[in-house]
Amino acid sequence: MSKERRRYLESCEVSRLARYELGGVEQKVTVEGRRADAPVVIFLHGGPGSPLPVSVGTRGMFPDLADRYVLAAWDQLGCGANRCRLGDDACIDRYVDMTLDLVRAVRRDFPSNEVNLLGVSWGSILAARAAAREPELVDHVVTYGQVLKQLGFNDEVFEALERSAMPEKLKVELRAIRGSGARNLESGMRLAGWVRKYTEGYQAQGGGMMPVGAFVRGLLESPDYTLRDLVAAVSNDFSRSERLFAEIFAVDLSDELANMRVPYLIVQGETDIVTSTRAIRAFVTECGNPNLRYAEAPRSGHMPGTAGMSLLFEHLSNFVTKGQVSCHK
């Protein structure tokens, strides 16, 4: 670990690797903050099974966040520091239960603090379901890449790939997937790969690539991560969980969001077609729920990139501390 990172951790009033029982299983969660009385932010990563950019192994790597909040980072059961084989009970509700267990545990440790959720992509499903189920436990929710419905199989994905430079033989396969109506893991992975390669749906041009090398070095230097944890952060059973992905592809959060009782900010990447920015923008406008707010990140896709990540953290700060949404063009 670098001297700078060690000095920062030593300067924090809160900096520890905690162990909480979530869903009946003891799991590792890092908790860090310059001030113990700051609002808590629980980071719910995407994937599922992709604990980046904030994870158990990143304690001390996000001082700008830990200066403002008590940051709780959880590698969801089955990946990273909480690696294990996924059982047949891996389903959305089980992970929502674990999310709520984590909220309760954090509230016990910080009874006077606000507790907020920051969910990215798959993590937005957990945030929405948890806040809808027990709104009294959550003060604010901020999401990036909000799942609504038709994840990855919406018309925008198919139309963007048809317009792309994807080879014609792959477009024949694309049309077969669209025509079949099948929403399974194999088809979903094929579509995701094509979107990454042939469109800006995942990564927009000009938004800055996330510094993957710096993240990996930081994880290798982490006091809380092992090499096996790092391997399990990028390769785990989630990518083979047919049941869980079938649920994800079928999920529809329209009712939860339309009736949301918690202040809830959705930040979408300008070019995101995976969790369709166009559809989310229209939904927030049309549903008329005053608790739902919307913001857009220019030059960002489903993956925020460096510019989008900075903007997301700015939105988080303004929304949690002031109840405001920043305007950016």
| pLDDT tens sequence across 317-328 | 999 988 888 665
Residue 42 contacts residue 118 (beta carbons within 8 Å): yes
197 is a domain residue:
no
Report the pLDDT averaged over residues 114-129.
Answer: 98
Residue 282 contacts residue 178 (beta carbons within 8 Å): no
CA–CA distance, 294 with 143 (Å, rounded to integer): 10
69 is a domain residue:
yes
The whole-number pLDDT of residue 326 equals 67
195 is a domain residue:
no
209 is a domain residue:
yes
Lowest mean pLDDT among 6-10, 94-98, 285-289, 321-325: 321-325
Provide the CATH number for the domain around residue 80. 3.40.50.1820
Residue 274 contacts residue 192 (beta carbons within 8 Å): yes
| pLDDT tens sequence across 11-42 | 999 999 999 999 999 999 999 999 999 999 99
What's the domain count of the chain? 1
**Residue 126 sits in which domain range?**
3-150+205-322
The whole-number pLDDT of residue 329 equals 46
Cut 0.85: pTM above it: yes
The whole-number pLDDT of residue 328 equals 53
190 is a domain residue:
no
CA–CA distance, 61 with 152 (Å, rounded to integer): 31
Kindly give the pairing relationship between strand 14-22 and strand 25-33.
antiparallel
162 is a domain residue:
no
196 is a domain residue:
no
Alpha carbon 118 to its chain centroid, in Å, reads 7
The yes-or-no verdict on residue 182 having pLDDT over 90 is no
143 is a domain residue:
yes
